[in-house]
Structure 1
Amino acid sequence: MMNVKAPSNQPPARGFTSDNIAGISPEMMEAIVRCNAGQAAPYGNDEVTQRLEVRMSNIFEKDVKVFLVSTGSAANALCLATMTPPWGSVLSHADAHINRDECGAPEFFCDGAKLVQLGGENAKIDLAALQAQSKRMVGDVHSVQPSCVSITQATEVGSVYSLDEIEAIGAVCRDAGLGLHMDGARFANGLVTLGCSPAEMTWKRGVDALSFGATKNGTFGVDAIVLFNQDLAQPLAFRRKRAGQLGSKMRFFSAQMEAYLADDLWLSNARHANAMAKALAAGLASISGAKVDRDPEANILFCKLADHLINGLLSAGFRFYHDRWEAGTVRFVTSFATTQADVDDLLAAANDLAQLAVRRSS
């Protein structure tokens, strides 16, 4: 068999496309190895999974039900399906991940329920628009019925809902009788930005169900559904099984999540990722041809780059999204594994390209 090698003249890729490109924290690997000894009851009846639910209840200062799944998309879709009847609607921002990036999974799992898109600056739901939509056509058999609101924390553009903003959305939901779901794929990144407790950012502000993201922040293929409204637990249990998300060897999911939460690893990982995004933003602000759209509140940075910077960085092996939005708009994402050296290398390359452009124009 021919052994095909990559061209030697290609520079090594240095990625800022997503926090999904990082590996896993060493603590996760160690937890999986420890968990591999001996036998354990299947389908979440093992000691590790039961211990994890107690730990989660302590972290959230409330008795919660925890359902582990393999992806954030599964967590979101199963939550929304449990909270929304087929004739209902899920109200979310137009740029929410459930609307832009899940290939119709929420509608599929909801048996036809509709996603209704709302506007708002910085990918956060406009409260007035939400208030109006929450009462629209209620009781009219010809229209889908508002049933649930989903907010993304942190958002897809790296902004973070404040506690007051979550409280206000929760109040609208209570007034209209709607459930409130939080897509927390980057939950830890938003939490450390606000400097509050998990309880203060969720159920104390009216959140009924949380997609508790961990994969983007150090685990290997495990996220959690955390239910504060325990009336949702039984139907969600059946939906998880029906969706093929009830892992038979659940202990390996639980061991990762337990290690993730131990010694506040999840929070330190998120703080590091956020800090790397801020360092990148600060460095780009002084480079000719680069303009940071807004200071990152989490680990996502949007900016405008001149063509020579985009093309030069790509040629140097840096990887980032640059062709999904309008021309010149670039997204950088940092992770727990991003190093200061990674950031410094990108900034040095961008600065060299900017100086070269000045010399050529003079």
Structure 2
Amino acid sequence: MNFASDNIVGASAPVLQAIMQANAGTMAAYGNDEISKRIRVRFNEIFEREVSVFFVTTGTAANALALSSAVPPYGLCVCHREAHVIDDECGAPEFFMHGAKLAGLPGVGAKLKAEDVEVYLKSLPKAVKQMPPKALSISQVSEGGLVYGLDELAALGAVCREHGLSFHMDGARFVNALVSLGCTPAEMTWKRGVDILSFGATKNGGLMAEAVVVFKPALAEALDYRSKRAGQIISKGRLVAAQFEGYFADDHWLDNARHANRMAALLSEGLRQLPGVRLAWPTEANEVFPIIPKTLDQALKAAGILYHPWTDLSLPETERIADHEVLIRLVTSWASRAR
């Protein structure tokens, strides 16, 4: 069994079928095809307003391009200290921001609290020696598997508006959070102050299907050019856009995420029944973070079960990992099966 990531499984059948259908015949290149146009309209419907959509092939590209549109080279982007944009992108956001900086803040479960962001922003000197904050980036779902609630998002959005920051959401697991909250995409984004979104589908059934969705028009002005410079204007763009056609059809994306979340809940409940096992954080989406005895860790590895060890930086103050224990991450997917 492999719980290393939700990237380890292939694309779902509806997505592959949509690619095959789009593959036939000839169509305009570089995203000017009818499929791409249709999917842009579909994004408008999903988010209940007109949005700008830029198709890309990786989450790294989506995050780097989104932040480059919001943060000038002399600016600062605030995020959690374990956020994907600061920990797992090999400096891509800073590279595409042409030298702008990421400032990581602490927070339990890899989540930021509005009051902590507010305190940090007020602590920054206003002199020219200090890079001015220009954006806030959060991961929804967080790197601790936690989901920002609607009130939490609204509070962060209010801080951004007060301080003139653009609000970016890294939505690599966007739909897992969406079905966990039971809300609409609009309610989880622009209605709570989000200005720009990295919309991920690859982890939830896509082949390589990501998008930058922009709610604040000023941030979209240069993204066509930025995307081209980043090698993300794909000549056969219809084969990227087509994935979203299969993904959205008949609520396939929602069904996939609900299944992945259910599998995580089932796994979480089973683990909690084992002696010496407890959860570092609640299971709110499709990631489970148990603290287990090292003897169990060794037994699982010997049985060929794959997963990653995890950092304890974002544990609650009351939680400690003993010398005989280890914190691990287990990820379920749309293709996971109950056994």
TM-score of the pair, normalised by structure 1: 0.88
Q: What is residue 336 of structure 2 aligned with on the other side?
A: 338
What secondary structure, in the 3-state scheme, does the structure 2 residue paired with 1:210 have?
A: strand
Q: 1:142, 1:177 → 2: CA distance?
A: 19
Partner of 1:282: 269
Question: Does the aligned pair in 1 maintain the 2:287–2:330 contact within 8 Å?
Answer: yes
The one of the two structures with greater contact order (alpha-carbon pairs below 8 A, sep at least 6) is 2
In the TM superposition, what whole-angstrom CA distance separates every residue of 1:82-129 from its partner, at most 9, and x where no partner exists?
A: 100001000001111111111111111100101011122221112222
- 1:87 and 1:221 mapped to 2: Cα distance? 32
Match of 1:149 among 125, 136, 139: 136
User: Aligned residue for 1:239?
Assistant: 226
What corresponds to 1:175 in structure 2? 162
1:63-102 aligned within 5 A: 63-102=50-89
Deviation, structure 1 residue 157: 1.0
Contact 2:113–2:156 (8 Å) recurs in 1: no
Task: Write the deviation string for residues 267-288 of structure 1: whole angstroms up to 9, x where unpaired.
Answer: 1101110111110010111112
Q: Which residue of 1 aligns with 2:18?
A: 31
1:255 aligns with 2:253: no
1:188-267 alignment to 2 at 5 Å? 188-267=175-254
Whole-Å separation in 2 of the counterparts to 1:335 and 1:186:
11
Give 5+ residue unaligned stretches, structure 2: 313-320
Alignment of 1:270-349 (within 5 A): 270-322=257-309, 328-341=326-339
Find the counterpart in structure 2 of residue 17 from structure 1.
4
Q: Rg larger in 1 or in 2?
A: 1
Counterpart-to-counterpart distance in 1, 2:281 and 2:164: 35
Structure 2 letter corresponding to 1:334: T
Q: Given the alignment, which residue of 114, 121, 131 partners 1:127?
A: 114
Bigger mean CA offset, 319-328 vs 57-66:
319-328
Contact 1:310-1:322 at 8 Å conserved across structures:
no
CA distance in 1, matches of 2:160, 2:125: 14
Contact 1:219 1:256 (C-alpha < 8 Å) held by counterparts? yes
SS at match of 2:185: coil
Q: TM-score, normalised by structure 2?
A: 0.94
* 2:50 is aligned with 1:52: no
CA contact (8 A) 1:135 1:176 kept: no
Distance 2:157 2:269 in 1: 34
Contact 2:113 2:152 in 1 (8 A): no
User: Which whole-Å CA distance do the structure 1 matches of 2:120 and 2:297 have between them?
Assistant: 40
Is the contact between residue 146 and residue 281 of structure 2 (CA under 8 Å) also seen in structure 1?
no
CA distance in 2, matches of 1:85, 1:292: 40
SS of 1:335's partner is coil
Distance in 2 of aligned mates of 1:171 and 1:138: 21
Gaps of 5+ in 1: 1-13, 342-362
Q: Distance in 1 between matches of 2:300 and 2:51?
A: 46
What count of residue pairs does the alignment treat as equivalent? 328
- Indicate conservation of the 8 Å contact 1:118/1:126, yes or no: no
Task: Name the SS of the counterpart of 2:203 in structure 1.
Answer: helix
Tell me which residue corresponds to 1:185: 172
Preserved CA contact (<8 Å) 1:183 1:212: yes
Deviation of 1:320 (Å): 0.6
Q: CA RMSD in A?
A: 1.3
Alignment-mate amino acid for residue 258 of structure 2: R
